[in-house]
């Protein structure tokens, strides 16, 4: 998975408002459904405990259940597919004074894919905790197979680094700058997907073995009035395949008694990989039918409602519900010029 550090932080961070509880537990279920006949149900449960003042240990189990009859699936003549992915994460985080160190191991497995990932991160507070600098490194090994072809064995090795600086820029403003780089080396195509050229001749797609990704992100949180905040993010991305993208996001969060209400929007625009074509006239060294490598724009918008009750030493409870709608517009995919759908999530967090 590409979310190693986020997963690590999801377990290491208590899910409620209490500063540093002895034990924290959380569960979340999300349902994704789109107009491409795909439904994904994600369930995650996590727990963490603090055996000493400085150390927190955690674990999470996550399952993705996918049911799809998308154009990718139909074009590979397999009918509707049903897949189940399991992911287990274990974390350890040491925090003393101005320093924090973290380590996480993730194992993810599905019927045709297995991966092992290690994440190490460190951070240090400076200027009386007004500045935090952080670094993280990741490394992973992926084993890829194919249903119906026991002889297909491919490997993908991943590595990356990330550096961030977070600053209390004013009494009302938090800023964070994040720089990341990742290198992927190995099999990155889909063994199920075909590219078509000429007179409808189909070949398995092929993409370059190596992919270097670079990303820069700036986040700005601004406290507006009594109990509300505006969260914004701007992200730029490019990679060695020629993809360039920009992402903008904003969320407004306001507290009303024990409730938090948030409204959020996100927009994304991407330029295609240099070897992507809507149609190929003749065979090329690299050919793909992956619409994620095409030129497209997408937008997400939604609202969330969270209820929190903090009973001091007795513990804290948080329940939240989030609903989002989204739409994609693919300008280079004649078979599917648009995709829309909804995502609904329900989360519960406990700490004591």
Task: State the nearest-atom distance from the C-beta of 199 to other proteins, in Å.
Answer: 27
Does residue 218 interact with other proteins by CB under 8 A?
yes
Does residue 58 interact with other proteins by CB under 8 A?
no
User: Which of 51, 52, 77, 128 is close enough to bind other proteins by CB under 8 A?
Assistant: 128
Tokens, residue 228: 């509300």
Task: State the nearest-atom distance from the C-beta of 159 to other proteins, in Å.
Answer: 8
Does residue 298 interact with other proteins by CB under 8 A?
yes
The window from 49-57, 91-99, 194-202, 222-230 that contacts other proteins (CB under 8 A) reads 222-230
Write out the binding residues for other proteins, residues 88-127 only, by CB under 8 A: 108, 110, 112-113, 115, 117, 119, 121, 127
Does residue 145 interact with other proteins by CB under 8 A?
no
Does residue 24 interact with other proteins by CB under 8 A?
no
User: Which of 56, 287, 316, 320 is close enough to bind other proteins by CB under 8 A?
Assistant: 320
Does residue 243 interact with other proteins by CB under 8 A?
yes
SS3 313: helix
Does residue 288 interact with other proteins by CB under 8 A?
no
Instruction: Give me the sign of the Cα torsion angle 341, 10, 65, 245.
Output: positive
Q: How many beta carbons lie within 10 A of that of residue 115, not counting itself?
A: 19
Task: State the nearest-atom distance from the C-beta of 284 to other proteins, in Å.
Answer: 19
Q: Is 54 left (phi over 0), alpha (psi -120 to 50) or beta?
A: alpha
Distance (Å, rounded) from C-alpha 28 to C-alpha 6?
15
State which residue, 106 or 199, has the beta carbon closest to other proteins. 106
User: Which of 195, 213, 289, 351 is close enough to bind other proteins by CB under 8 A?
Assistant: 213
CB 210 within 8 A of CB 239: no
Does residue 316 interact with other proteins by CB under 8 A?
no
Does residue 25 interact with other proteins by CB under 8 A?
no
User: Which of 88, 169, 250, 303 is close enough to bind other proteins by CB under 8 A?
Assistant: 169
Q: What is the DSSP string of 67-133?
A: EE--HHHHHTT--SEEEEEEEEEEEEEEEETTEEEEEEEEEEEETTEEEEEEEEEEEEEETTTTEEE
CB 288 within 8 A of CB 191: no
Distance (Å, rounded) from C-alpha 80 to C-alpha 76?
10
Does residue 68 interact with other proteins by CB under 8 A?
no
User: Which of 47, 54, 255, 329 is close enough to bind other proteins by CB under 8 A?
Assistant: 255
Distance (Å, rounded) from C-alpha 3 to C-alpha 182?
12
C-alpha angle 269/272/274, rounded to 5°?
Answer: 150
């Amino acid at each position: 998975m590409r979310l190693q550090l986020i997963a690590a932080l999801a377990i290491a961070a208590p899910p409620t408002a209490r500063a540093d509880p002895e034990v924290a537990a959380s569960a979340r279920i999300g349902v994704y459904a789109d107009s491409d006949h795909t439904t994904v149900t994600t369930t995650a449960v996590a727990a963490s405990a603090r055996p000493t003042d400085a150390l927190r240990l955690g674990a999470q189990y996550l399952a993705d259940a996918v049911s799809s009859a998308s154009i990718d699936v139909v074009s590979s003549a397999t009918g509707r597919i049903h897949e189940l992915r399991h992911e287990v994460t274990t974390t350890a985080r040491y925090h003393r004074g101005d320093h924090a160190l973290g380590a996480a191991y993730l194992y993810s497995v599905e019927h045709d894919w297995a991966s092992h990932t290690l994440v190490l991160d460190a951070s240090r507070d400076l200027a009386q905790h007004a500045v935090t600098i952080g670094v993280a490194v990741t490394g992973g090994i992926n084993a890829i197979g194919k249903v119906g072809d026991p002889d297909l064995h491919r490997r993908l090795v991943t590595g990356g680094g990330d550096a961030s600086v977070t600053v209390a820029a004013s009494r009302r403003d938090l800023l964070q700058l994040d720089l990341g780089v990742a290198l992927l080396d190995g099999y990155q195509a889909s063994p199920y997907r075909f590219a078509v050229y000429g007179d409808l001749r189909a070949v398995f797609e092929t993409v370059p073995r190596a992919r270097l990704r670079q990303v820069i992100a700036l986040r700005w949180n601004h406290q507006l009035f009594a109990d509300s905040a505006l969260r914004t993010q701007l992200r730029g991305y490019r990679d060695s395949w020629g993809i360039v993208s920009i992402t903008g996001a904003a969320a407004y969060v306001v507290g009303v008694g024990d409730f938090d209400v948030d409204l959020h929007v996100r927009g994304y625009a991407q330029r295609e990989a240099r070897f992507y074509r809507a149609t190929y006239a003749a065979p090329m060294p690299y050919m793909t039918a992956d619409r994620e490598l095409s030129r497209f724009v997408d937008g997400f918008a939604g609202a969330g409602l969270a209820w929190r009750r903090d009973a001091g030493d007795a513990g804290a409870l948080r329940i939240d519900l989030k609903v989002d709608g989204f739409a994609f517009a693919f300008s280079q995919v004649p078979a599917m010029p648009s995709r829309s759908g909804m995502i609904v999530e329900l989360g519960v967090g406990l700490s004591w």
